[in-house]
A = this chain, B = another copy of it.
Amino acid sequence: MNLNFASDNTGPAHPKVMEAVLRANDHAAMPYGNDPVTEAAVAAVRAAFEAPEAEVAFVATGTAANALALSCLVRPFESVFCSRVAHIEEDECGAPEFYMGGAKLTLVDETDGKIDAGDFAAKLTAAMDRGVHGAQPAALSLTQITERGATYSLDEIATLTGIARDAGLATHLDGARFANACAALGCSPAEMTWKAGIDAVSFGGTKNGCLGVEAVVMFDASHRRELALRRKRAGHLWSKQRYLSAQMLAYVQDGRWLEMARSANAASARLAKGLRAMPGARILHEAAGNLIFAELPRAAHARAFAAGASYYLFPGDTPLDGDPETPVRCRLVCDWSKSSAEVDALIASWAG
């Protein structure tokens, strides 16, 4: 039984996605995206976003998608506002700064990973007031669902993008777990993005049943050429792009992306329910998607690891020795493939 809850990138790709990759292999195709599978996949993403004019570009990683999107929106002497715990700040080893040619990230206070509107407005005003001496505010980047597992409501997104737009900033959504957010909110991709004031999206597939594919979606087609050139220059244009596109096509077709996200969210909800019923356990952040941050007694973790479970403890929270009752924090992630039995087995392993 698979007790790996470390990340939504530890599980397998969906069989239909694998099939699509295999099917893309049974014929010759022109390279660099000049092939029918790519054309179909781009059309499918545009349709999913109700955005027939949007620019859509596929890359293999979320870091590349985020950095490419931002590099089209921000010049080197400008800055991007994001939360203190944003993936682009903490987990991309400076990729955004690299792609943007040295532009800055300006960090904003957050709760559950969600940007505080007041702090954003205050930092924005201060930055506007520095003349040529400060980096110029140019973009806002949100993560949905956040790095702490929370979900912005559509109103919350609109409020933040409204502040940004009033000051002339572009807006980006890091959607590594876009599908999980759509499933949690019960809204459409359009509602969560351009209808809520978002200009560019990193639409993730990798964590939700693909091998490795993300779509950069820019609703303003004026960046078309720039995006294509920046992708090439970054080494992210595949010669055999059909293998990327096939994944994305299978992912978007027939609502598979949403179905997988619902499955992951349901597994996570089952896990959360189990945690709430567990003595000594506590959920640390609101959890509507597939990401749970929780606290359990050290002994519970030890029992689970002994039973073969795998997930991350917080750096600094030592698991192996010390008082068995001390709460130790962890992150638990369910992907599309997690079964009820697996979730129940993890819960059982904590109880011992």
Contact = CB atoms under 8 A, between A and B. Distances in A.
Interface residues on A, range: 35 or more
Contacts of A211: 21, 25, 240, 243
Nearest to A68: B235
Contact of A235 (B10, B27, B75, B95): B95
A100 B75 CA distance: 11
- Which of A22, A94, A97, A228: most chain B Cβ within 10 A? A94
12 contacts: A4-B30, A9-B239, A9-B240, A12-B26, A30-B310, A92-B133, A93-B133, A95-B234, A98-B101, A100-B102, A129-B315, A133-B232
A303 interface: no
Contact of A93 (B93, B101, B232): B232
A232 B95 contact: yes
A4 B25 contact: no
Interface in A86-125: 90-95, 97-105, 107, 125
A243 B9 CA distance: 12
A229 B61 contact: no
Contact of A132 (B22, B237, B315): B237
A73 to B, nearest CB: 13
